[in-house]
Structure 1
Amino acid sequence: MLKVTVADLVEKFSLKVLTGVDQLQKNITQTRAHRPGLEFVGHFDFFPTERVQILGRKEINYLHKLSKEERQVRIGNIVHYHPPCFIVTTGEEGLTYLTHYCKEEGIPLLVRDTVETTSEFVMMLDAYLLKNLAPQISIHGVSMNVFGVGILLRGHSGIGKSELAHTLIGRGHRLVADDIVVLKKLSPRTLLGTHADKNKEFLALRSIGLLNVVKLYGQKAYQEETKISLDINLTKWQGNSLNNDLEYAPAYTEYMGVTVPSIEIQLQPGRDVAGLVEAAANNWYLRQQGYSAAEEFMKRIEADLPDA
């Protein structure tokens, strides 16, 4: 299981640690943060205790207005549940009472002087947690971003996936990952493709060796991640196995329950495979806009038919 620790949040969002320095290795398992509200007035039936707790200006102002006795009760009730950490987005001024309770219970209290609103910070934090705690698998293949469309290139070892990726880079497209592609399931319909850290920016070409595409071709040749929209399976040429139909029946590949449109491209010497991948990317985009070349072609044919 993937994990994110409180220390990861401190590093990612440049948080100041007020208490709980020895508790920063606590695991965070939930993909959404929580802003306590009802909990401050004693309603804990649905309190998500395993989420990061965010205290913004609204929450801090409310606590400041309470009497010392009331504040002790309100805060004491919440820290009793030991959430992984508290993050205050309004700075550390006037937080003596909160510091005391968090220190007493061993809960990390973190502070961020945000330039954005608390709601915006929560969105940033949720996005980070979702991406880093998402279910993931690793597959053999190549991931590219072609005309803004995330593509998986699959096929047997030695079929030419990396060479095709190199050709696409030369035509202005971006490498995401070569050889090992990490797929992250962000939602039932969203699959994110990225690298496996060790292969970041690297492309392996037979007869040439390992290339760093950023060093060779600049930052424009590389992209950290991409939403996977199209799965392309590269296969050996098999004669007349592919018919010249106007439009193929839709095919899909499933990864962790997410279905991705899939096509097969057969390889043959002299065939412009990179051009076919570009055409597939553009055609996928047009389909998302509701356009089908085959449907338009048939309408033209029907328009020329004599009336019955």
Structure 2
Amino acid sequence: MKPVTVKHLVDRFSLEVLTGHDQLHRTIPKTRAHRPGLEFTGYFNFFPQEHVQLLGRKEITYLHTLSEHERNLHIGNIVKYHPPCFVVTRNQEGLKYLLKYCEEEGIPLLRTPAPTTKFQELVDVYLGKALAQEISVHGVCVNVSGIGILLRGKSGVGKSETAHTLIRRGHRLVADDIVVLKKISPETLLGTHNEKTKEFLALRSIGLINVSRLYGRKAFQEETRIVLDIELTKWQDDTLNNDLELEPKFTEYMDIRIPHIEIQLQPGRDVAGLVEAAANNWYLKQQGYSAAEDFMKRIQSDLG
């Protein structure tokens, strides 16, 4: 996980820097922005001082109703905790008292024209991803009909070639070779690229291709939620299961269990088609449908 600075926030959301230009290197260690409310009344027992402090119309309007002495007292108390930065929304003005204390304490004061609630949602999502626990794995990440899949296997087994076939069928590449996995929540695993490999796919005998340039922008996707872990392996006789429904297997990444499937490779086998089938079958199971159960019901109905 790379550190997130106030400068990153400024660049990401095109924020206006009112003061603290030389303090944009300050780090933001916590996700979620905080709107100070109780702190303006002097209650600081649970003040999340390491969070971005967001001042919307409600907060600024309240401060304007106070006397100069009260306003200076409340703002002075908050800035002493040295939060990473303050962000004023809706391009609100009349901020001389904020400028004064932020300049004295070396805290960046930023401003945006965006509405408070909308901006808070965007910041929370951005920081949630940027500060998420992450690991890098060797493989290929694709989005098949809206379903995020991690393709794994030994080098040269055909992961990139399978991804290329899927792209030609209208699906999307997320990352090739190095897949960055981010733990967004206890149940959510996000797959993305490492910037350097963005849009690139390495094909043996062909070389490096840019899928967006070759097949259009729809061939690439920045990130996707990983819901299937598919391992491509070499063909082994008499090892394929032909049961009506296989016993579920899982792979764990940062304590998140992802359904695992093994697909064996053989000349002439439509591996990309099997990946599509696995993705669509996973989706049907999420809707409560089981082909095996449906089949058994038909058998029992005939017997009855």
CA–CA distance in structure 2, aligned partners of residues 92 and 22 of structure 1: 23
The residue that corresponds to 1:76 in the other structure is 76
The residue that corresponds to 1:4 in the other structure is 4
Counterpart check, 1:142 vs 2:140: yes
CA–CA distance in structure 1, aligned partners of residues 199 and 285 of structure 2: 31
Deviation at 1:90, TM superposition (A): 2.9
The residue that corresponds to 2:256 in the other structure is 258
CA–CA distance in structure 1, aligned partners of residues 167 and 15 of structure 2: 38
Deviation at 1:92, TM superposition (A): 4.4
Counterpart check, 1:35 vs 2:67: no
The residue that corresponds to 1:64 in the other structure is 64
CA–CA distance in structure 1, aligned partners of residues 88 and 192 of structure 2: 32
* Percent pairwise identity: 70
Counterpart check, 1:89 vs 2:89: yes
Q: 1:188 aligns with which of 156, 174, 186?
A: 186
SS of 1:245's partner is coil
The residue that corresponds to 1:100 in the other structure is 100
On the 8 A contact 2:57/2:92 being kept in 1, the answer is no
SS of 1:157's partner is coil
Q: 2:244 aligns with which of 242, 246, 266?
A: 246
The residue that corresponds to 1:50 in the other structure is 50
Q: Which amino acid aligns with 1:3?
A: P
CA–CA distance in structure 2, aligned partners of residues 109 and 274 of structure 1: 52
**Count of aligned residue pairs for this structure pair:** 304
Deviation at 1:28, TM superposition (A): 0.4
User: Residues 138-217 of structure 1: matches in 2 within 5 Å?
Assistant: 138-217=136-215
CA–CA distance in structure 2, aligned partners of residues 274 and 231 of structure 1: 14
CA–CA distance in structure 2, aligned partners of residues 14 and 147 of structure 1: 33
Query: Structure 1: 5+ residue runs without aligned partners?
Result: none
TM-score, with structure 2 as normaliser: 0.99
Q: Which runs of 4+ in 1 moved over 3 A?
A: none
On the 8 A contact 2:176/2:202 being kept in 1, the answer is yes
| CA-atom RMSD in angstroms | 0.8
TM-score, with structure 1 as normaliser: 0.97
SS of 2:113's partner is coil
CA–CA distance in structure 2, aligned partners of residues 79 and 243 of structure 1: 64
For each residue in 1:143-174, what CA deviation from the matched residue of structure 2 results, as whole angstroms up to 9, or x when unmatched? Answer: 00001100010000000000111111111110
Deviation at 1:243, TM superposition (A): 2.1
Q: Which amino acid aligns with 1:220?
A: K
